[in-house]
């Protein structure tokens, strides 16, 4: 079975509402921005996301958060210079950690 797709839109076309996603990357390094934007355009909602963090405004998972496409989030991120903390962008149903943002 060939799983290679020509476009990001084709790659995310079959992701349904409520799908569970594991999103890679560390901070904004290695985050699949093109696929996240394609998924946002595709329209799936109520997504269950497991990731290192929740991105920033306009990048990474921040795109899905701003569009209201997430359901349950399992996130964790930290930095050696600041403790993790919940930020206003993190929905109340975030579990198992915090969204991190600089103070």
What are the extents of the domains in the chain? 8-74
Confidence of residue 77 (pLDDT cuts 50, 70, 90): low
* Residue in 4, 10, 2, 72 with CA at minimum distance from that of residue 38: 10
With b for 16 or more beta-carbon neighbours within 10 A and e for fewer, the 41-65 pattern comes to ebebeebebebbbbbbeeebbbbbb
Separation between Cα atoms, residue 85 and residue 103, nearest integer Å: 9
CB 69 within 8 A of CB 45: yes
Q: At residue 52, does pLDDT exceed 90?
A: no
Q: At residue 101, does pLDDT exceed 50?
A: no
pTM here is: 0.73
């Amino acid at each position: 079975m060939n799983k290679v797709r020509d476009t990001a839109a084709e790659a995310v076309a079959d992701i349904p509402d409520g799908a569970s996603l594991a999103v890679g990357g560390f901070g904004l390094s290695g985050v699949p921005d093109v696929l996240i934007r394609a998924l946002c355009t595709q329209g799936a909602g109520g997504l269950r996301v497991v990731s290192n963090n929740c991105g920033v405004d306009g990048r990474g998972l921040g795109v899905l958060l701003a569009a209201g496409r997430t359901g349950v989030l399992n996130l964790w991120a930290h930095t050696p210079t600041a403790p993790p903390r919940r930020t206003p962008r993190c929905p109340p149903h975030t579990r198992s950690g915090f969204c991190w943002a600089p103070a």
